């Protein structure tokens, strides 16, 4: 009576966490460090723009975004990555990157690749929507472990030729959630060249690209353009959730080759929900403003430096290059999360809940994911408790 295609999906990470922790009393003042929900202030002009455009809730909005919004997104791509895209044919809005990442697979994944069931490659650990998108289109998800040995990015180039030949899509998150690793220009060049050779598309999830320290992360579309790759090879996904502290706005975009975007827009015209016009008006202004992004990044930089000071002597600690998570090494993530909750009240996520078991093991089992989204003061309290409880320092 019901489909089997999703029968092997495990429980989502946060129900698993509640089952692990909630039957025990916290060992102190509760500090939540599990969910990557930004807590910094969003731009002050958001409320003003929303109020000015509130009457537009009475209109049906354009599915692909207002001309002004698409123009501002194209302008941001040009400023940030040095790539010119046509706002009419190469950009569309989406309800956050999760919706875009899911529906892109629906629009772009072929029914077969070289006469066989297509494969969709993704890093392990990974954003869980990648897996359900693959299953939804009848493809086989392939979890490519991203470990310390691979720089916490999946070694796609090391996969067998027969796997690459069947690959239709590759999801890659850079900066990576949860590890904070960044794909450099050489990594993107290798992956894009493989895509050219084996004719797979790269779905680049870049929603953490504006939270970094040091040099700004290079973009997938940027490298593809520099290489002269097929314009359809790379599709990028961005949103205002992390960049601008507006996760509840659910405003993002997809950009790429004109044929890819034609197919995505056609699919969304039947199955997607457009952003309400007042949300689009807010988004127009937010994409055009960079000062609040710089202020936001400075706040995260303070917390990066705080984490380095607190965990600098912990063996295996990896200072995050970007994003807003710590990927802390422990013997067993579930045991460590439970101990931390029972003894200190700090709530973190076992890394295994973001990963899948493979023949080589579960790459998240020996880690905790810790979100650095709260105030500096609360973050310092939480990190200090983690260090003292788990590492005895």
Q: What is the mean pLDDT of the segment spanning 321-329?
A: 97
Say if residue 362's pLDDT is above 70.
Answer: yes
Q: What is the pLDDT of residue 256?
A: 98
- Residues near 67 by Cβ (< 8 Å), separated by ≥ 6? 87, 88
According to DSSP, the residues that pair with 254 across neighbouring strands are: 92, 237
> Exposed e or buried b for every residue in 251-269, given b needs 16+ CB within 10 A?
bbbbbbbeebbebbbeebe
Calpha distance 343→384 (Å, rounded): 13
Got the DSSP string for 95-156? SHHHHHHHHHHHHH--S-BTTB--EEEEEES--THHHHHHHHTTPEEEEEE--GGGTTS--G
Q: CA-based angle 274:231:166, to the nearest 5?
A: 90
Q: What percent of the chain has pLDDT over 90?
A: 95
pLDDT tens sequence across 198-234? 999 999 999 999 999 999 999 999 999 999 999 999 9
Q: Give 187-192 contacts, CB < 8 A, sequence gap 24+.
A: 187/153, 188/218, 188/220, 188/223, 188/224, 189/223, 189/227, 190/156, 190/157, 191/156, 191/157, 192/220, 192/223, 192/224, 192/227, 192/229, 192/233, 192/234
Say if residue 393's pLDDT is above 80.
Answer: no
Q: Give 54-57 contacts, CB < 8 A, sequence gap 24+.
A: 54/278, 56/276, 56/277, 56/278, 56/281, 57/276, 57/277, 57/278
Q: What is the mean pLDDT of the segment spanning 156-176?
A: 98
Residue 260 and residue 232 in contact, taking contact as beta carbons nearer than 8 Å: yes
Q: What is the pLDDT of residue 319?
A: 94
Q: Which two tokens stand for residue 128?
A: 């869980």
- Residues written for the chain: 393
Q: Within 13 A of 210's CA, how many CA atoms are on the CB side?
A: 26
Q: CA-based angle 370:130:214, to the nearest 5?
A: 45
Local structure of residue 197 (DSSP, 8 states):
H
Residue 98 and residue 119 in contact, taking contact as beta carbons nearer than 8 Å: no
pLDDT tens sequence across 74-109? 999 999 999 999 999 999 999 999 999 999 999 999
**pTM for this entry:** 0.97
Calpha distance 350→32 (Å, rounded): 13
Calpha distance 51→196 (Å, rounded): 47
Pairing of strands 119-124, 140-145: parallel
């Amino acid at each position: 009576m019901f489909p089997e295609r999703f029968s092997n999906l495990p429980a989502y990470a946060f129900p698993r966490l509640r089952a692990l922790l909630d039957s025990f009393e916290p060992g102190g003042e509760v500090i939540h460090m599990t969910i990557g929900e930004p807590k910094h202030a969003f731009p002050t002009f958001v409320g003003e723009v929303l109020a000015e455009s509130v009457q537009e809730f009475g209109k049906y909005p354009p599915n692909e975004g207002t001309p002004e919004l698409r123009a501002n997104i194209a302008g941001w791509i040009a400023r940030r990555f040095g790539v010119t895209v046509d706002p009419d044919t190469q950009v569309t809005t989406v309800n956050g990157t999760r919706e875009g990442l899911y529906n892109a697979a629906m629009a772009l994944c072929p029914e077969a690749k070289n006469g066989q069931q297509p494969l969709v490659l993704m890093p392990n650990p990974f954003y869980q929507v990648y897996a359900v998108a693959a299953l939804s289109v009848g493809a086989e998800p392939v979890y490519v472990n991203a470990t310390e040995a691979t720089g916490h990015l999946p070694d796609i180039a090391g996969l067998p030729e027969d796997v690459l030949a069947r690959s239709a899509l590759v999801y890659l998150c850079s900066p990576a959630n949860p590890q904070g690793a960044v794909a450099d220009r050489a990594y993107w060049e290798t992956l894009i060249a493989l895509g050219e050779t084996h004719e797979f598309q790269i779905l680049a999830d870049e929603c953490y690209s504006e939270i970094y320290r040091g040099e700004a992360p290079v973009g997938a579309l940027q490298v593809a353009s520099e290489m002269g790759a097929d314009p359809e090879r790379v599709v990028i996904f961005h949103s205002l959730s992390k960049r601008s502290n507006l996760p509840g706005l659910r405003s993002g975009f997809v950009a790429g080759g004109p044929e890819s975007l034609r197919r995505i827009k056609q699919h969304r015209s039947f199955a997607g929900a457009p952003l309400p016009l007042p949300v689009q008006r807010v988004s127009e202004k937010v994409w055009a403003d960079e000062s609040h992004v710089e202020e936001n990044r400075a706040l995260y930089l303070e917390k990066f430096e705080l984490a380095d000071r607190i965990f600098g002597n912990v063996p295996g600690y990896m200072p995050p290059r970007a994003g807003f998570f710590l990927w802390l090494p422990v013997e067993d993530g579930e045991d460590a999360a439970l101990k931390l909750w029972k003894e200190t009240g700090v709530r973190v996520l076992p890394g295994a809940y973001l990963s899948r078991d493979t023949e080589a093991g579960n790459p998240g089992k020996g880690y905790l994911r810790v979100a650095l989204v709260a105030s500096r003061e609360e973050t310092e309290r939480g990190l200090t408790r983690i260090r003292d409880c788990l590492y005895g320092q």
